[in-house]
Structure 1
C-alpha cells in the first residue's frame, strides 16, 4: 500500500484556503528567529493574503515580540507549510497574552 506523504500538508492547504482573508495566529517550529537584530519567538498573527502549494502569505502581519508585542512588519511574509507547528483562527491579532 502506497502512502501519501503530502496528506497533512494537503489538508493544511485546504484549511488555510478556507480561511483566506481571515486573521490567523501561526507558530512555527523554530525555537527563536532573528530579524533586523531582534530575536523573537516564532509567533505571527495576520490576515491570510495568499495560500499556495507549500506556503501561506500573511499581510498585514504582526510579530509577537516581548518588547514589541504588536510590531506590524512593513511587508507580507510567506511561511512554508511544513514549518507551521500550530495554527489558530480563534485568536485575534490584538489579543494580549504573555510571551515569556
Structure 2
C-alpha cells in the first residue's frame, strides 16, 4: 500500500466514525463482509441489528444485538457486540429490528 491509499482508508474510517457517532441510541442494521459465520454450532449470515451504544475509532458496539438467523430470526446475543469498521459491508440507520426480512 502506498501513502495515498493509507490516507484514503483513514479518511473513510473517519467519515464512518462521524456518521455512526451521530446515530448513537438509534437502531442500525449491519451486514458484515463474511459470507457466513458460525456461533455455537449454528451457521448464519452476518446480519445484525440493534441500537448503537458506543462508537470508538475503529469499531461500533450494539446492544442488545439481534442476530438474524433463518431458524431464530430474533435471536438476542447475550452481550454487547462490537463490530470493526473494516468488517462492515453495509449498514442501514434507523432500522426496525422487529421487522421481518427474507434471509434466503
Tell me which moved more, 87-96 or 45-54. Answer: 87-96
State the Cα deviation string for residues 39-96 of structure 1 (Å, max 9, x = none).
0000000010100110000000000000000001111110000100000014210010
Alignment RMSD = 1.0
What TM-score, normalized to structure 1? 0.95
> Unaligned 5+ residue runs, structure 2?
none
1:98 is aligned, of 80, 98, 102, to 102
Asked if 1:72 corresponds to 2:76, the answer is: yes
Report the counterpart of residue 52 of structure 2 in structure 1: 48
How far off is 1:97 after superposition? 1.1
Report the counterpart of residue 41 of structure 2 in structure 1: 37
More helix by share: 2
What TM-score, normalized to structure 2? 0.91
> Unaligned 5+ residue runs, structure 1?
none
